[in-house]
Amino acid sequence: MKVKGPRSRRWLFVIPLCMAATAHAQATKPGKYAMTTPIPPQITTPAEADTSIGKLTFDDGVPTAETTQRLYDNLDTLRAVEVFLNGIPGASMASIRKGLRDVGAVDSTVGVYETLMDSKSIYLTPNSETIYFWNWMDLKDGPVVVETPPNILGVVDDFWFRYVTDMGNAGPDKGKGGKYLFVPPGYKGDIPDGYFVVRPPTFGNLVFGRAYMEKGDTRPGVASLKKGLRIYPLSKASHPPQTKFINLSGKVMNTVHANNVEFYDEINQIVQEEPAGVYGPDMTGLFASIGMIKGKPFAPDARMKKILVDGAAIGNATARAIDFRGRDPASKIYPDRHWNTPFIGGSYEWLGDGARLFDARTMFFYAATIDTPAMAVAMPGIGSQYAAANLDVSGKPFDGGKAYRLHVAANVPVKDFWSVVVYDTQTRSMLQTDQQFPSLSSERGLKPNADGTTDIYFAPKRPGDAANWIQTIPGKGWFLIFRLYGPLQPWFDKSWSLEDIKPVN
């Protein structure tokens, strides 16, 4: 470098001094001033923090631009995951609505599984032992009347899959049949006498129920439904239109929600259609945080789409961990075995000590549908109870290529009957094999041992001369649900219990 004259030499001297002063100012801590006090170190933020999402850097507590972007990406991902986990009930209901619309089971048309549901219809953990009926009820055009026949188990859940009312044996008509009037949100019209009046918080609602076979015959139950079940608008009560029935048995249809980014579109349907905030301010705020706002397009940009893809993948994986390898001890029916209850805490609202049991709600709705106290609360002789087995006696997932045995003790405590149904771990619907019904029940096809006990085998081929066998598929996982219809006191006090499922040669 060529230096010319005294002035140039002065600048060469000043520049290093300035640089040194700047470096010193950055490296030193602020001095003491008249109002300076000791600052607790725990309320400050270090210049760097090594975290699970990488190194975060700060300028005296202010995140750098790079760190800020990383934090917002993480925050949006966290919220996308929470929307998935908390939105499963709604996404499931949106998928059920689509399935029912596709087959026409809406308004005054009811879908009935007249010869039971088999594995061709994809639903979350349905049974194959009772006569299901399904209908999508929309209250946007005004109140709707539902007349019920005797001796059914009927339920209405709102669009977020929250319990609205029971009908039939567990409802206010006590199984004698009755007239229910469903009134939409904000309705100001007159309410006539003579009805059980119900006010759902959403316009869209699922009407669901079960009728029963008689000695293995579905025809009496179906005939009772067609004779006594009516759904029609209150405005046409003086001359009700005929309720139509369509047979859904053997119908190829899907009612299971998406596990990919399409999940968020299913949720947004409800956000747009239902009253603002109907799922509560916290959940509504969570949906809004990723762009779902009533009255506005849900249009994530390229960055947000990438985050939603990630959020759905993480949310789905987390739901599967909660469902198949749950860590909550309260999910265990017996502390030393692998049988789980779908209703942790015995609450159909998933509440415990005033707190919402989020994982318990996720566990239920990822694998099941229909919310009613009749399934959650101990009601001996009424409703039904459920025990799910995801793992064998050794705590391993079931291998569809191996053979297993469930030994059921004698005198199963039921007023009505009990059953076992096998499900696909992917779809959580009935396992699709060569058998039309991957199930057995005490009412249909089950053969007990001479001492009253029962052995049920699960394998790709019937093991030897096994009397009770449900087919499985090599290379495919499975799980099962043991159901008790009209469960009696020994089930609730555990004086009668289930053994773990064991591998056999």
Angle between helices 262-273 and 65-103 (to 10 degrees): 70
Q: How far apart are CA 420 and CA 381, in angstroms?
A: 19
CA quadruple 298, 304, 307, 309: dihedral positive or negative?
Answer: positive
CB-based burial, 137-153: b 16+ in 10 Å, e otherwise: bbbeeebbbbbbbbbbb
- DSSP-derived secondary structure letter, 44: S
| Chain centre distance of CA 271 | 17
pLDDT of residue 28: 58
pLDDT recorded at residue 21: 42
Distance CA 90, CA 384 (A): 24
Q: 10 Å Cβ neighbour count for 291?
A: 18
Which residue ranges make up each domain of the chain? 45-99+256-325, 106-247, 326-503
What's the rounded Cα separation, in Å, for the pair 93 and 98? 9
User: Do the beta carbons of residue 457 and residue 400 sit within 8 Å?
Assistant: no
Label the pairing between strands 469-471 and 454-459.
Answer: parallel
pLDDT at 3: 47
The distance in angstroms from the start CA to the end CA of the chain is: 89
Alpha carbon distance 66, 68 (integer Å): 5
Encode pLDDT of 290-343 as tens digits. 999 999 999 999 999 999 999 999 999 999 999 999 999 999 999 999 999 998
Q: Which of 495, 503, 502 has the alpha carbon at shortest distance from 412? A: 495
Half-sphere exposure of 41 (CA within 13 A, CB side): 2
For residue 408, which of 313, 304, 341, 483 has the smallest C-alpha distance?
A: 483
Q: What is the pLDDT of residue 26?
A: 46
Check if the beta carbon of residue 360 is closer than 8 Å to that of residue 354.
Answer: no
The per-residue pLDDT for 11 is 46
Phi and psi at 461, nearest 5°, equal -130, 155
pLDDT score at 16: 47
- Does domain 326-503 fall under CATH 2.60.120.600? My reply is yes
pLDDT of residue 5: 53
Question: Running DSSP on this structure, what letter comes out for residue 471?
Answer: E
165 vs 209: CA distance, rounded Å = 12
Amino acid at 130: T
Q: 457's torsion region: left (phi>0), alpha (psi -120 to 50) or beta?
A: beta
Distance CA 372, CA 391 (A): 27
**What is the Cα–Cα distance from 225 to 207, expressed in whole angstroms?**
13
* Fold of the domain built from segment(s) 45-99+256-325: VPA0735-like fold (1.10.3360)
Q: Which helix (H) or strand (E) holds 477?
A: strand 477-487
439, 129 contact by CB (below 8 A): yes
What superfamily in CATH does domain 106-247 come from?
Domain of unknown function DUF1254 (2.60.40.1610)
Query: What is the reported pLDDT for 122?
Result: 98
Q: Are the C-beta atoms of 470 and 439 separated by less than 8 Å?
A: yes
Name residue 121's beta-bridge partners: 253
Residues of the chain with pLDDT under 70: 1-28
**Environment class of 396 (CB within 10 Å of its CB; exposed 0-12, middle 13-18, buried 19+):** exposed
